[in-house]
Amino acid sequence: MRSRPKHPLAYLTLLAVAFFSAFPVYWSVIVASHDNAAMAEMPPPLLPGGNFLANVSRVFDTAPFALALVNSFVVAGTITVSVTFFSTLAGFAFAKLRFRGRGALLLLTVVTMMVPTQLGIIPLYMLMIKLEWTGKLYAVIVPALVNAFGVFFMTQYLGRALPTELLEAGRIDGCGTWRLFRHIVVPAARPAAAVLGMLTFMTAWNDYFWPLVVLTPDDPTVQVALSQLASGYVRDFTLGLTGTAVATLPLVLVFVLLGKQIIGGIMQGAVKG
Amino acid sequence: MPVAHRAPKPESPPRARPAAPSSPWRHRLDRTVSPYAYVAPFFLLFAAFGVFPLIYTAWVSLHDWNLLSSANPFVGLDNYGRLFSDGYFWNAAFNTLSIGVLSAVPQLALALVLAHLLNRPLRAQTLFRITLLLPNVTSVVAVVVIFSQLFGRDFGLVNALLDLVGIDRVYWQADVASSHVAIAIMIMWRWTGYNALIYLAAMQAVPREIYEAATIDGASAARQLWSVTIPMIRPTVIFTVIVTTIGSMQIIAEPLLFGAQVSNGAATTGGTDRQFQTLALYLYEKGFRSFEFGYASAAAWVMFLLVVVVVGFNYLLVRRMRGGLDV
């Protein structure tokens, strides 16, 4: 066992980087809890003030923020349930079922992660006009219902964590594939599905560009509302950063509480099989 | 396990061999079709909303296609001709490369060092990891809003600190260099920790004995990182370089929102003089401000080719960077 004093430089470097990582988030809380006049002072305040709730009510008056929060919950919630379900299903097939073309299809799944799909945004938008989905939440939800990362992630996990003998025992008991999935795979997948769910929720909650393009300013998601709040001619940083705090802090809180599992999930997904 | 407690289905004899179930035809169908049915949703969705739009972009780019016009005449390669003679396009290409290099190179280098530092028994290991990943949890909009305040001309903390040490204040949005640096810092801030964790995951799979041998041979920590760790995790390095390159070529939200701090007009143009308009932002301006779908599609398709070229170049570059295992 190495003892702590052996790496003073490592600690110093990590502490410095940790400080720079955390400070901007802390700073948003500072700005959000003061008024604009206080932020114009030199030196600026470095501790939270007492103006947070007043700022929050201003945020809800300025932008359709309440609606945006509801929309984002609907969008991110639906996407999370769907991605988790379909990824577990596909992961089960890739990890444990035998079928022709399995290896090639799995490789194709990984390769699709590297396709810059954002470049197809114009025809995608034209497609949404055709479907009459522009301005509607479907336009944001449907294209995100399942993704390659989730499929790959669950394939990795189930390949490692689900004993094949269990499935064989189920087969002997006469289970069809769907019953195997429901009664053996789903319980076994639960820890990884929880991590995938959290990662998916965060990504969907934070998604900005596509909702900006396809939704309307009066019926936005939270990130689009936030960008409305923070741009324009009025230079009201307090308003923008209060919106930022309202939109970000719930996620940050969940992350800090469940960070260990989430980080484990990211690192597991990173190791390629 | 739940299944063990369930009675077998009435029509199937208990303990039947898997090869001989009660209804062989249905069983065979289940076994052959189910796997494809289970993986199909992803492929169908990706085909419809990923591949199809990308390919259809090429078709649209050959037309004078406007949101409002009823006819979309075929114009051949006209859009491409216009694109290549448009100085704003080349300006955006330069900005994209500049911001990409400024953000990606220090980001990945720092991530490697951080992962190397974390890859040892440290106290507060989890706390460090959580803090490093914190920026990645904040949305891109939040990042730009926060940093725009920090980089504010009059009341920004960065300028206040510069004042303190006697350096002139910087109007970060005004110049090419300063705006690129500011945007690169935002991108770095959001992604360095994430990449560090990816590297750390790969480093933890490197056998300890190799490091012990290197230590006995007298290799310093820096030397071990360069000559042992990087060659051992090269697939992961290649993977992150490719993913970061693809991401860098599509940067849009940062310049869009950074410009929005100046004025609404400066948002889609990436600053009043297009000093930080990236290619993706140029595409957005043409596609969703002037609704020239055909022209914007030509830009998208050229960007796609650029992504392929740059990714290919970086891939070859990283592959050639071999440190060798003989310390």
Count CB atoms within 10 A of the CB of residue A268. 15
Q: Is B165 an 8 Å CB contact of chain A?
A: no
Q: Indicate whether A199 belongs to any domain.
A: yes
* Residue B245: exposure state from Cβ atoms within 10 A (0-12, 13-18, ≥19): buried
Tell me whether residue A202 is in a domain: yes
pLDDT of res. A6: 65
* Cβ within 8 Å, pair B56-A123: yes
The domain ranges of chain B are 87-320
> Taking CB atoms and an 8 Å cutoff, what residues of chain B touch A133?
none
Using the predicted structure, report yes or no on whether residue B283 has a pLDDT greater than 90. Answer: yes
Between residues B181 and B152, the one the model is more confident about:
B181
Supply angle C-alpha B18, B22, B24, rounded to 5. Answer: 75
Judged by a CB distance cut-off of 8 A, whether residue A204 touches chain B is no
pLDDT band at A149 (very low <50, low <70, confident <90, very high): very high
> Could B143 and A213 be called an inter-chain contact, meaning their C-beta atoms sit closer than 8 Å?
no
CB contact under 8 A, B35 and A121: no
| Phi-psi group of B295: left, alpha or beta (phi > 0 → left; psi -120 to 50 → alpha; rest → beta) | alpha
Mean pLDDT of B31-51: 94
Identify whether the C-beta of residue A209 lies closer than 8 Å to the C-beta of residue B252: yes
Residue with tokens 């022209």: B295
Q: Domain of residue A88: give its range.
A: 52-270
Mean pLDDT of chain A: 88
Does A256 map to a domain?
A: yes
- Maximum average pLDDT range among B118-132, B174-188, B250-264: B174-188
**Are A255 and B133 within 8 A, CB to CB?**
yes
Q: Is B8 on the interface with A (CB under 8 A)?
A: yes
Q: Is residue B24 within 8 angstroms of chain A, CB to CB? A: no
CATH class of B87-320: mainly alpha
The CATH number of the domain holding residue A62 is 1.10.3720.10
Q: How far is B153 from chain A (nearest CA, A)?
A: 11
Q: Report, as an integer, the average pLDDT of A46-71.
A: 88
| Contact check, Cβ <8 Å, A44/B157 | yes
Residue by residue, DSSP assigns B184-231 as: HHHHHHHHHHHHHHHHHHHHTTS-HHHHHHHHHTT--HHHHIIIIIHH
In whole angstroms, give the CA distance from residue A208 to residue A198: 18
Q: Do A94 and B9 count as a contact with CB atoms less than 8 A apart?
A: no
User: To the nearest whole angstrom, how far is the Cα of B269 from the nearest Cα of chain A?
Assistant: 14
In a domain, A161, yes or no: yes
How many domains does chain A fold into?
1
The C-alpha atoms of residue A15 and residue A116 are separated, in whole angstroms, by: 35
Per-residue model confidence as pLDDT tens digits over B162-190: 888 888 888 888 899 999 999 999 999 99
Q: Does A201 lie at the interface with B, CB-CB under 8 angstroms?
A: no
| pLDDT in the model for residue B208 | 86
pLDDT of residue A272: 44
Nearest CA in chain A to B49: A143
Write down the ipTM of this complex: 0.88
Are the Cβ atoms of A114 and B243 closer than 8 angstroms?
yes
Chain A with chain B: Cβ pairs closer than 8 A? 335
Look at A227-236, B45-54, B143-152, B192-201 and tell me which has the smallest mean pLDDT.
A227-236
What mean pLDDT, rounded, does chain B reach? 86
**Mean pLDDT score, B35-52:** 95
User: What is the pLDDT, as a whole number, of residue B239?
Assistant: 86
Say if the Cβ atoms of B189 and A24 lie within 8 Å.
Answer: yes
Question: Residue A213: which pLDDT band, with cuts at 50, 70 and 90?
Answer: very high
Nearest residue of A to residue B55, measured between CA atoms: A120
Contact of B253 with chain A, judged by CB distance below 8 Å, is answered with yes
- Domain annotation covers residue A64: yes
pLDDT tens-place string over residues A151-186: 999 999 999 889 999 999 999 988 999 999 999 999
Task: Please give the C-alpha separations between residue A22 and each of A147, A195, B43, B245, in angstroms, as whole numbers.
Answer: 30, 23, 39, 26
Residue A124 inside a domain? The answer is: yes
* Cross-chain CB nearest to A206 (options B118, B139, B193): B139
Residue range A226-248: mean pLDDT, rounded: 81
CB contact under 8 A, B198 and A89: no
Query: Could you tell me if residue A257 is inside a domain?
Result: yes
Residue A189 amino acid letter? A
- Chain B CB contacts of A1 under 8 Å are 121
Q: Confidence band (pLDDT; 50, 70, 90) for A233?
A: low
B292 three-state secondary structure: strand
Mean pLDDT on A219-246? 83
Segment B41-70 shows an average pLDDT of: 91
- Nearest Cα of chain A lies from the Cα of B115 at a distance, in angstroms, of 10
Q: pTM for this structure? A: 0.87
H helical segments located in chain B: 2-5, 24-46, 52-60, 78-84, 87-118, 125-137, 140-150, 157-164, 176-203, 208-216, 221-224, 230-232, 234-249, 253-260, 265-269, 279-288, 293-320
Average pLDDT of B38-49? 96
| d(CA B119, nearest CA chain A) in Å | 10
A240, A40 contact by CB (below 8 A): no
Which of B35, B49, B160 faces A143 most closely, judged by CB atoms?
Answer: B49
